[in-house]
Amino acid sequence: MIKIRLEEPRDISQIYLVNQLAFGQAAEANLVNALRNSKALALSLVAEADGEIVGHIAFSPVRIESENSCFEALGLGPMAVLPGRQKSGIGSQLVEAGLRECAKTPYELIVVLGHPDYYPRFGFAPAGHFGISWEENAPEGAFMVRELKKGTLSKIRGIVKYRPEFNAL
């Protein structure tokens, strides 16, 4: 049985390990720690099985900037599941739970840099179709958006950037 819940301080070392093992490197684990240390984790959920953290998902604030406006949104990522537990639905449970929790926030939009065959099942679509791009180069179709509030994508265009106070990450 998988339990999805908010991150607690006692989970931090296990969250680091899950991200490190899932991605085969420490970059994503270090990113999560940097976001946490900067108070930039808007939402951090864990998947727990038998007292062990087997998955993690993070959401942090981003800005969509254009010549005339600046819009606050959430960035999904990283999302990680222990290698031995992947392809068992844990990632889907984390994304679904995260989207439900994000819908309770004032944010109206979520962006993700992820696999173009995975995230569309949760309502994500290529951001470029809506005039939204990422400040970095991304593979075709991998940078995606999802509305939390209907109609948001009709009023926003621009480049997604980490909020300035998090640029040191």
How many whole angstroms separate alpha carbon 26 and alpha carbon 81? 14
The average pLDDT across 127-145 equals: 91
Which two structure tokens, joined as six digits, stand for 71? Answer: 């819009």
The average pLDDT across 10-31 equals: 97
How many whole angstroms separate alpha carbon 112 and alpha carbon 165? 20
pLDDT score, position 163? 54
pTM of the model: 0.92
Closest CA to 155 of 165, 145, 141: 145
- H or E stretch covering 15: helix 12-23
pLDDT score, position 96? 98
Domain ranges of the chain: 3-166
For 41-76, what is each residue's pLDDT tens digit?
999 999 999 999 999 999 999 999 988 888 999 999
> DSSP states of 9-55 as a string?
GGGHHHHHHHHHHHHTSSHHHHHHHHHHHTT--SEEEEEEETTEEEE
pLDDT score, position 136? 85
How many whole angstroms separate alpha carbon 3 and alpha carbon 78? 19
How many whole angstroms separate alpha carbon 126 and alpha carbon 120? 9
The average pLDDT across 154-168 equals: 72
3-state secondary structure (DSSP) of residue 33 = helix
Given a cut of 80, whether residue 164 has pLDDT beyond it is: no
pLDDT score, position 169? 41
Given a cut of 80, whether residue 19 has pLDDT beyond it is: yes
CATH number of 3-166: 3.40.630.30
Q: Is the peptide bond before 78 cis (omega within 30 degrees of 0)?
A: yes
